[in-house]
Amino acid sequence: MSKQLDMFKTNLEEFASKHKQEIRKNPEFRVQFQDMCATIGVDPLASGKGFWSEMLGVGDFYYELGVQIIEVCLALKHQNGGLITLEELHQQVLKGRGKFAQDVSQDDLLRAIKKLKVLGSGFGIIPVGGTYLVQSVPAELNMDHTVVLQLAEKKGYVTVSEIRSSLKWETERAKQVLEHLLKEGMAWLDTQAAGEPQYWLPALFTELYSQEITPEEAQEAIP
């Protein structure tokens, strides 16, 4: 096998000399590259000592991104309980990297996060309404919790009644889930809301207040 390996290494070196820059600069090309690797059963990010990492430099790019992601999540954890939208994470990471750093796509972030899971500190990805929430604390979030997060994503908050009507759950089940999210610091309770208490997700706050709305829309949104 070592002969084959040497041959492959040469092929990879050739590829790298022609296209290393392309991988660096083009997020779409990176996606293609990663997808192809996955299809054939190769993980180019498994080890910094792997050929892919050494010759194409993909390793350093993603591992460094991992460090930046960890730092952003840690910095914001006290605010959002360890849940953050992929968009906000993306913005914060870009800010930290500075204007002249290499561009990073959301796909890049997702791949880096998938690698971080192995470190055991609770990194996970939760799909919600077309985007993702990134979890960075070892809180147990099961299917019930995830589904409620997805429901809350539309308005940034959710109520027991909404859960009952949308998901057809019993009150007790809804309350258990909401209390768990409260305990973990991922949800905040607004008991002063007209009608019934609202459970807000700070992870979704920037999504909300960064959407520009007209005065008419604002009137409609506030009960």
Helix (H, G, I), strand (E, B) or coil at 199: strand
Q: Which is nearer to another protein, 35 or 165 (CB)?
A: 35
Query: Are 104 and 90 in contact, with CB atoms under 8 Å apart?
Result: yes
Cα distances (Å, whole numbers) of residue 27 to 24, 30, 73, 139: 8, 5, 23, 32
Kindly state whether residue 138 participates in binding another protein, applying the rule CB under 8 A: yes
**Position among 101, 161, 165, 183 found at the interface with another protein (CB under 8 A):** 183
- Tokens 């849940």 sit on residue: 83
Minimum CB–partner distance for residue 216 and another protein (Å): 9
Phi-psi region of 165 (alpha: psi -120 to 50; beta: other; left: phi over 0): alpha
Considering only residues 7 through 66, tell me which ones interact with another protein, judged by CB under 8 A: 7-9, 11-12, 15, 18-19, 22, 26, 28-29, 32-33, 36-37, 39-54, 59-60, 63-64, 66
Helix (H, G, I), strand (E, B) or coil at 126: strand
- Tokens 């930290």 sit on residue: 96
Q: Which is nearer to another protein, 121 or 146 (CB)?
A: 121
- Rule CB under 8 A: which residues touch another protein? 1-2, 4-5, 7-9, 11-12, 15, 18-19, 22, 26, 28-29, 32-33, 36-37, 39-54, 59-60, 63-64, 66-67, 70-71, 77, 88, 91, 99, 115-122, 137-138, 179, 182-183, 185, 189, 206, 209-214
